């Protein structure tokens, strides 16, 4: 027992240092105003989705760690509850995690989600958007959200997300972003 006590602070420090290393590398990948990385992923019904499919629409691309976990369920359900308000702003919601298509299908059914959850099993898209967390063999998507404008450019990046309030924040920010656009754009 005493050996565990002596080594546990070092283990915690090691995890913090590893987390910090991956955080710095991940954030450098995308910038506001730059083109959003293209993707090709399958949803819970095995339908393929690409960024090009959403041309002329705003896209709320939200990354989350794991289906059917407390924070991820809260976040998905707040997006579900605000789905019609977000769609009224000409925006589509796409959830992305490294979970399988089958896991997404169960999660969508259990929570009655009206939007697609995209499976990124290798974490390629999460990495392209700076949302991949890899700790040894364990890989997860970080809880991040990206708003992509109608031209396919990054409009807003959220690196710190409160699952309970995030949907409301997205609605407010979509309204703000859209109010800044001139009719000719």
Three-state secondary-structure class, residue 133: strand
| Contact (Cβ atoms closer than 8 angstroms) between residue 62 and residue 95 | yes
User: Computed from CA positions of residues 160, 98, 37, 20, in that sequence, does the dihedral angle turn out positive or negative?
Assistant: positive
Joined tokens for residue 126: 């999460």
Of 152, 139, 134, 138, residue with least CA distance to 61: 152
Would you name the residues annotated as active-site residues? Answer: 72
Q: What are phi and psi of 40, to 5 degrees?
A: -145, 105
């Amino acid at each position: 027992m005493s050996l565990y006590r002596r080594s546990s602070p070092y283990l915690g420090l090691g995890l913090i240092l590893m987390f910090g290393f991956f955080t710095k590398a991940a954030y450098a990948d995308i910038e506001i105003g730059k083109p959003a990385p293209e993707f090709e992923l399958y949803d819970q019904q095995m339908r393929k989705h690409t960024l090009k499919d959403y041309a002329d629409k705003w896209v709320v691309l939200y990354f989350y760690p794991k289906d059917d976990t407390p924070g991820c369920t809260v976040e998905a359900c707040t997006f579900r509850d605000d789905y019609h308000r977000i769609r009224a702003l000409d925006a589509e919601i796409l959830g992305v995690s490294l979970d399988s298509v089958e896991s997404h299908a169960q999660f969508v059914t259990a929570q009655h989600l009206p939007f697609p959850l995209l499976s990124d099993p290798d974490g390629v898209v999460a990495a392209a958007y700076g949302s991949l967390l890899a700790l040894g063999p364990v890989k997860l998507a970080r809880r991040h959200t990206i708003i992509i404008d109608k031209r396919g450019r990054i409009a807003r990046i959220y690196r710190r997300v409160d699952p309970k309030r995030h949907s409301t924040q997205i609605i407010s920010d979509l309204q703000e972003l859209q109010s800044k656009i001139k009719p000719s754009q």
